Amino acid sequence: MERKGNVKRKFGIISLCICLIVIIVLIIMLYIKNNNSNYYLNVNIEQNDNVTNPINYSEIITNIRNEYNNEDIKGILEIENTDYIVPVLQGKDNEYYLNHDAYGKSNYMGAIYLDYRVDIDSSRKLLIYGHNSSNIDMPFKILEEFYDKDYYDNHKYVDLTTSTTKKKYEIFSVYVEPEDYSYMNINFSSDSEYLNHLKKLKSKSMYDTGVEVSSDDEILILQTCSTHKDYYNYQKKYLLIILRRV
Under 8 Å between Cβ of 113 and 90: yes
**Any domain includes 46:** no
Provide the β-strand partners of residue 161: 76, 166
Q: Does 1 fall in a domain? A: yes
Note whether residue 156 is domain-resident: yes
Neighbours of 43 (CB within 10 A): 14
Those residues with Cβ within 8 angstroms of residue 221's Cβ, 6 or more apart along the chain or in another chain = 125, 126, 127, 128, 183, 201, 240, 241, 242, 243
Claim to verify: residue 71 and residue 156 sit in the same structural domain: yes
Considering the domain architecture, whether residues 21 and 61 belong to the same structural domain is answered as no
* 145 Cβ contact partners less than 8 Å away, ≥ 6 residues apart: 151, 155
Indicate the pLDDT class of residue 46, thresholds 50, 70 and 90: confident
Hey, how many other C-beta atoms are within 10 angstroms of the C-beta on 45? 15
- The closest of 205, 214, 124 to 171, measured between CA atoms, is 205
Largest Cα separation within the chain, whole Å, is: 89
225: burial class by Cβ within 10 Å (0-12, 13-18, 19+)? buried
Query: Is the same domain home to 31 and 127?
Result: no
Residue 69: inside a domain: yes
Question: Which tens digits make up the pLDDT trace of 164-193?
Answer: 999 999 999 999 999 999 999 999 999 999
Indicate if 32 and 141 belong to the same structural domain.
Answer: no
Per DSSP, the three-state class of 101 is coil
State which amino acid sits at residue 66.
N
Residue 52 resides in a domain: no
Whole-angstrom Cα distance, residue 56 to residue 43? Answer: 14
Q: Is the pLDDT confidence value at 103 over 80?
A: yes
Please report whether residue 231 resides in a domain: yes
Residues 6 or more apart from 48 whose CB is under 8 A from it?
Answer: 54, 55, 57, 165, 166
If one compares 39 and 121, the residue with the highest pLDDT of the two is 121
The CATH number of the domain holding residue 191 is 2.40.260.10
Residues 63 and 29 in one domain: no
Same domain, 19 and 112: no
Instruction: Name every residue whose Cβ is closer than 8 Å to that of residue 227 and which is 6 or more positions away in sequence.
Output: 132, 133, 134, 144
Report, as an integer, the average pLDDT of 220-245: 95
The values of phi and psi at residue 35, to 5°, are -70, -35
How many domains in the chain? 2
Whether 237 is covered by a domain: the verdict is: yes
User: Residue 69, by phi and psi: left (phi above 0), alpha (psi -120 to 50) or beta?
Assistant: left
Contact 139, 111 (CB under 8 A): yes
Same structural domain for residues 117 and 230?
A: yes
pLDDT at 36: 47
Whether the per-residue pLDDT at 10 is higher than 70: the answer is no
| Same domain? 2 vs 94 | no
Q: Which residues contact 173 (CB under 8 A, 6 or more apart)?
A: 201, 202, 204, 205, 209, 240, 241, 242
Model's pTM, two decimal places? 0.83
State the pLDDT confidence band at 34, using cuts at 50, 70 and 90: very low
Query: Is residue 131 in a domain?
Result: yes
pLDDT of 48 > 70? The answer is: no
Same domain? 85 vs 127 = yes
Task: With H, G, I as helix, E, B as strand and everything else as coil, classify residue 228.
Answer: coil
Residue 32 banded pLDDT, cuts 50, 70, 90: very low
Q: Are residues 128 and 206 in the same domain?
A: yes
List of long-range contacts for 197-204, beta carbons under 8 Å, 24+ apart: 198/244, 201/172, 201/173, 201/240, 201/242, 202/172, 202/173, 202/242, 204/173, 204/175, 204/177
Tell me which residue range forms the domain holding 16.
Answer: 1-36
Identify whether residues 5 and 110 lie together within a single domain: no
Same domain flag for 110 and 215: yes
